[in-house]
Amino acid sequence: MILFGSYSGGLLSESSGRRKSLLAAVTPSIVGWIVTGTCDTMTALISGFLLLGIGMGLSNSCAGVYLTELEVTDKWRRVVSAAKGVAFSFGITFIYVLGSIIRTDWKRIALISCAIPSLAFVLGIIFLRESRIWLRRPAKTPTDKFFCGLQRSFWSALVDRVDVYRFFYPFSAVLILFQLSGATVLITFAISLLDKIVVERNVDPYVLAIGLGLSHMIGPVLAEVFSSKFGVRRTLVYSGVL
């Protein structure tokens, strides 16, 4: 569902605008947390998880597009880029903090977590402005405004436009390898993994998970610092080695 949300997020951003797509991307997360926190059946629980996955994919994709189009200086662009990664790690760490306080009532955790996307939705309505780059784009034909037209443009660009596919394929390969490296699994499922490791040593897995989340928040900041000094390509290679 995250993959589906990410793919749909790009099409939604192009057809409806950056602001509307970001607000729409938050909605599945709000509904997903509510469904998860109030479910009484396995079907409802799975439905909540599916909505959360779609919301995560949509938010990640739409936010990435919006951030790249911010008309700011290079210094602030690096700050904004780091903030996206820090916010992602902070969200996961926040859930672990809640879990350490509310150990057994996961429904209450889900309902409390609903406050974060709800707050993001309200703040987005008040402060979020449409991207000027999107507003200045060439007018779209009626066909291109629909998903089918955008999909045709997307897939044809991956084949016909060298300025697109020479970047898309290598970068996609790097992202796939990053996902397969296990870093995302480690931070996302830290409690389950650590619970099996420290069960015989009388160590609270939540404390270790929170520490892992806090250290993960430092990563995007270091990445931006090293990228500004050594370049993005060299930083990417070194981070892969580590």
Please name each of the domains of the chain with its CATH number: 2-241 (1.20.1250.20)
Q: Report residue 197 as tokens.
A: 């490791």
**Helices in the chain by DSSP H: which ranges?**
2-16, 18-38, 42-68, 74-101, 106-113, 115-127, 132-135, 147-160, 162-180, 183-188, 190-197, 205-230, 232-241
Digit-coded pLDDT (tens) for 3-37: 666 667 777 777 788 888 888 889 999 999 999 98
Digit-coded pLDDT (tens) for 62-119: 887 888 787 777 667 777 777 877 888 888 888 888 888 887 788 888 889 888 899 9
3 state SS of 201: coil
> Global pTM?
0.73
| Residues with Cβ within 8 Å of residue 169, at least 6 apart in sequence | none
State the burial class of residue 115 (Cβ atoms within 10 Å of its Cβ: 0-12, 13-18, 19+).
Answer: exposed
